[in-house]
Amino acid sequence: VFSPGVSGKYAFIDTTRDLNGDTITVGITGHVTDRAGNSSVDVSLQNILLPATPGSIFILNSSATPGDQAHVVPVGLTNFQPLRGVEFLLEFDLDVMTVDSVKSTGRVPFSPFYETTHDSASGVGTLSVLLVDLAGNLIPAASDTMAHIYTSIKANAPSTEMILEMPFAEIAGEDGNPTEVTAKSGTLVIP
C-alpha cells in the first residue's frame, strides 16, 4: 500500500525539459513503510504525461456610454506554444452596439479576416474572426491582447451589463492541427 502521508513522496518537474511542449512530464519517486517502520526500496515512476494547461481566448471587460464611437473591446490570447492561427465567434446585442472593424495588435502583426452578420429577428449580431498569417509566420507563445474590436454604441442603448458571448473558439498549433483552447466571454457595461 502506497501511503504518501506516512512514507513520503517526491515529485519533480524539469522546467527546461517539460515546458516546451504540449505535455508536462512528471517523475514520482517514493517508498512504502510497514507498521514496524521497515522501508521498501525507492520506486520510481518516470515520464507520466499530464496535459499542459490549455490556451485561452478571452474578451476583456469594458465600459462605454450611449453614443460612443470607436469603442474598443479588447480580445486577449494566452498560449503556451506558437500558433498558426486563431478563430473565434462573438455574439452581441444589436440594440446596444454594432461592430465597425477588427484590428490585430501586439504579437499578432497580421490583419484579421472578419465578417459580421445581423439576425434582426433575434436581435443578435455575430462577429466571426480568423487570424492567420498567409506568409506562414507564427503567433509566439505569451499572454496579452491580440485584437481590438472597434464598436459603435447606439445613442439610445439601454443601461445594461451586456454579455459579449464567445460560443466558439479554436486555435491551430505550430503543426497546423487544432489545439485545445478555452473560450471566455466578457461584459460590456453601459451605465
Residue-range domains of the chain with CATH: 4-51 (no CATH), 55-190 (2.60.40.680)
Work out the number of other CB atoms within 10 angstroms of the CB of residue 75: 28
Alpha carbon distance 91, 26 (integer Å):
40
Q: Residue 5: exposed, middle, or buried by beta-carbon count in 10 A (0-12, 13-18, 19+)?
A: exposed
Strand locations in 80-180, DSSP E? 83-93, 97-104, 113-119, 124-132, 142-153, 160-173, 178-179
State the pLDDT at residue 98: 97
State the pLDDT at residue 35: 76
Work out the number of other CB atoms within 10 angstroms of the CB of residue 37: 6
- Residue 19's nearest CA partner among 47, 53, 55, 57 is 53
State the pLDDT at residue 25: 53
Alpha carbon distance 72, 60 (integer Å):
10
pTM score of the predicted model = 0.73
Alpha carbon distance 59, 10 (integer Å):
39
Q: Hey, what's the cell of 135?
A: 506568409
Q: Hey, what's the cell of 130?
A: 480568423
How far are the Cα atoms of 7, 32, 44, 187 from residue 37, in angstroms, in the given order?
A: 9, 9, 20, 58
115 and 101 Cβ atoms separated by less than 8 Å: no
In order along its 191 residues, the chain shows pLDDT tens digits of 334 444 444 444 444 444 444 455 556 666 667 777 788 777 666 655 555 567 899 999 999 999 999 999 999 999 988 999 999 999 999 999 999 999 999 888 889 999 999 999 999 999 999 999 989 899 999 989 999 999 999 999 999 999 999 999 999 999 999 988 999 999 999 99
